[in-house]
Structure 1
Amino acid sequence: MSSDVLDLSASSIELTRVICDIDSVSDNEGPLADLIENTVRALPHLRVDRFGDTIVARTSLGRDQRVVIAGHIDTVPLNKNLPTRFETIDGVDYLWGRGTVDMKAGVAVQLKLAAELTDPVVDITWIWYDHEEVSESKNGLNRLSQTNPELLQGDFAILSEPTRSEIEGGCNGNLRAEIRTRGLRSHSARSWVGDNAIHKAAPILDILAAYTARQVEVDGLVYREGLNAVGISGGIAGNVIPDECMVHINYRFAPSRSGEEAIAHIEELFGEWEVEIVDLAVGARPGLDAPIAQQFVAAVGGVPMPKYGWTDVARFSGLGIPAVNYGPGDPLKAHADDERVPLQQITDCERGLRAWLTGATR
């Protein structure tokens, strides 16, 4: 293998190992982006463009439909989990190491198929993007949607998020809010002079503890919501009655609920206190009623499930493009120190995508 290109004749398992061993923690995607760009530019059937550390490669075969398949190349920080290694646990063969699940196994499958599928039944836009694991403003797919939205256009989109190589449709929305109580400072030896803001937060916690989250059916998939305190802060010193307390809550809401409706629900619950919405990302409906999505399900097999977390499929949904999550790896192992992907899931993902994109029967 040349030092400046990937050997795309290697298996998708071997490609996963190679690209995982390249440190690409967010803000350090450049070397891997360079390698991907150099590799796909050598493929004559693809038109390749680069935007920062995001690489876009497209076929132009004049097909009636276009599919967008995207995966991010950054990872969360390392914790003594590189280089990768192969291991067997309870008879299951794994590739262990940072990025194997989230989401370089999916990226490797994309690269393998991008090289080999020169005559797919649909036109394909392959996207490898940067900065998914950090702030919205840095996200490569978000930047692309703002500067070159035409490159995201298609009839269907697939995000290579880890799903155990099963289809997960759409995603929940995500809202974070800060709920504040106010009081009056005083010396703790004379607490009756003050007004304890932390004590006044107790009813907020009571609401959260008693809350029953909904299970909502959307286009045949049942999404589980969640409303939880994820942080609490208050207090000035060990001998001062605090005059402010903040409860940080996270609301995961079904994709049938708009951002405005999610905000209204939070204000309905906590309206007697100060409410500040600090983050809001709407969800994505499954989109599985589209004929092209049904063809994908038929080719891949299995029963589609809902995606409970928020993913970048919502960007495609916001453009009116039905989108699903489909990639190797158990999402419960994403970001874990013992992150590891079953080798069979890498093979299954490649087989499923290849069958659909070539019109073959799985």
Structure 2
Amino acid sequence: MTGPVPLDLTADPIDLTAALVDVPSVSRDEQRLADELEAALRAQAPHLEVQRCGQALLARTNLGRERRVLLAGHIDTVPIADNVPSRREGDLLYGCGSSDMKAGDAVFAHLAVTLTEPRYDLTLVLYDCEEIEAAANGLGRIEREHRDWLEADLALLGEPTNGVVEAGCQGTLRVEITVRGRRAHSARSWLGENAVHAAGEVLRRLSEHKAREVDIDGCLYREGLQAVGIRGGVAGNVVPDECVVVVNFRFAPDRSAEAAEAYVREVFAGFEVELVDVSPGALPGLDRPAAEEFLAATGATPTAKYGWTDVSRFAALGIPALNYGPGDPNLAHTREEHVDTKLITATTEALRAFLS
């Protein structure tokens, strides 16, 4: 009885994507895939310095190049939904994580191993626990334990972008707005103050809010302020004395986290506002030399990234970072998740031209 076929990082990235999908790696259960990637990197890439950090893999060249490019991707997936092992239908490769983001991982790992004399020094970062709470994210652990491995002139994150360049990312903030009233029996409602009714003012301000648009480095970011939850009520015969509206603010990266919080508090002046969660956005950084060279080499026209990604972590370190991967973000986390293999090939060729 034969064992599993070892990962071949030199294989066509399409085949490598399928091989990565076939190794389950749900968040917090990435060890098997991390072990196989480590074994493959050490056996197939003698030109790379390799470092293990928890369930993350770090590999880099040390060629003394003027600039360094970092290729980063997470190896974990959301829970499997009867979509492992992978399968192919024509040009489409199906499977959990195929789009988000094992196709990007395959492209990056393949290039790191096969480009033995790249134009830039290269760093490959394949990390764990991106799909769960931010505190568990492997990039945070790498920053704490191996900060020097994240030094670069440009970071490319292989998040699914359909093969286009999405620059920077929005910041995200969540607050809870509490409206207080006074309890009473619903048969004598005039003796109470209904907090759910009073929350109507919060909803009115939200419905009348005008989303701000801002152009940064030619990328148009559109903000959004939305109620994403509401809770209140005590019983079927009680006037509620509390109602909480949960609001999410997606803000352009020209606002700091502090400025975004101040803006939300201004919008809801007069109400009790509690900050629950906040992650800053990332400026595109397209005027940095390595970023300009990447765009010139690929011929890509960057667009704004709507949503938050780990490019924010690199931006916080002063490293310009772009999202660039072959997957379709609209298919991420779905049962029918798949990737167009033509995009895997096109992304590989574009990056090879840039890095060679």
Structure 1 position 83 matched with structure 2 position 92? no
Supply the distance in 1 between the matched residues of 2:108 and 2:3 (Cα, whole angstroms): 20
From 181, 185, 194, give the equivalent of 1:187: 185
From 187, 203, 220, give the equivalent of 2:201: 203
From 341, 344, 348, give the equivalent of 1:343: 341
Supply the distance in 1 between the matched residues of 2:325 and 2:343 (Cα, whole angstroms): 8
- The within-5 A match list for 1:118-197 is 118-197=116-195
What residue is the counterpart of 1:30 in the other structure? 31
From 57, 60, 70, give the equivalent of 1:58: 60
- Choose 142-151 or 342-351, whichever is displaced more: 142-151
What residue is the counterpart of 2:100 in the other structure? 102
**1:110-140, Cα deviation, whole Å (9 max, x unpaired):** 1111210111011111000001011111000
Identity among equivalent pairs (%): 53
SS class of match (1:33): helix
Contact 1:196 1:243 in 2 (8 A): yes
Supply the distance in 2 between the matched residues of 1:122 and 1:288 (Cα, whole angstroms): 18
Supply the distance in 1 between the matched residues of 2:23 and 2:191 (Cα, whole angstroms): 60
**1:330-361, Cα deviation, whole Å (9 max, x unpaired):** 21111122211111111111111111110xxx
- The within-5 A match list for 1:204-243 is 204-243=202-241
Letter of the structure 2 residue corresponding to residue 82 of structure 1: V
SS class of match (1:198): helix
Supply the distance in 1 between the matched residues of 2:63 and 2:186 (Cα, whole angstroms): 75
**1:274-327, Cα deviation, whole Å (9 max, x unpaired):** 101111111111111112111101111221111111111111111111110100
Supply the distance in 2 between the matched residues of 1:313 and 1:29 (Cα, whole angstroms): 22
Supply the distance in 2 between the matched residues of 1:150 and 1:323 (Cα, whole angstroms): 17
CA RMSD of aligned residues (A): 1.3
Contact 1:130 1:140 in 2 (8 A): yes
**1:179-237, Cα deviation, whole Å (9 max, x unpaired):** 11011122222222221111111111111111111111012211111111111111122
SS class of match (1:302): coil
Contact 1:5 1:36 in 2 (8 A): no
Contact 1:4 1:38 in 2 (8 A): no
What residue is the counterpart of 1:331 in the other structure? 329
What residue is the counterpart of 2:11 in the other structure? 10
Contact 1:71 1:159 in 2 (8 A): yes
- The within-5 A match list for 1:291-302 is 291-302=289-300
**Gapped regions of structure 2 (runs ≥ 5):** none
Supply the distance in 2 between the matched residues of 1:50 and 1:237 (Cα, whole angstroms): 54
Letter of the structure 2 residue corresponding to residue 23 of structure 1: P
Supply the distance in 1 between the matched residues of 2:349 and 2:54 (Cα, whole angstroms): 31
Quote the offset at 1:2 in angstroms: 6.8
Supply the distance in 2 between the matched residues of 1:270 and 1:4 (Cα, whole angstroms): 58
Supply the distance in 2 between the matched residues of 1:109 and 1:252 (Cα, whole angstroms): 30
Supply the distance in 1 between the matched residues of 2:243 and 2:81 (Cα, whole angstroms): 34
Cα distance, 1:4–1:49 mapped onto 2, change above 3 Å: farther
TM-score (structure 1 length as normaliser)? 0.95
How many residues end up aligned between the 2 structures? 354
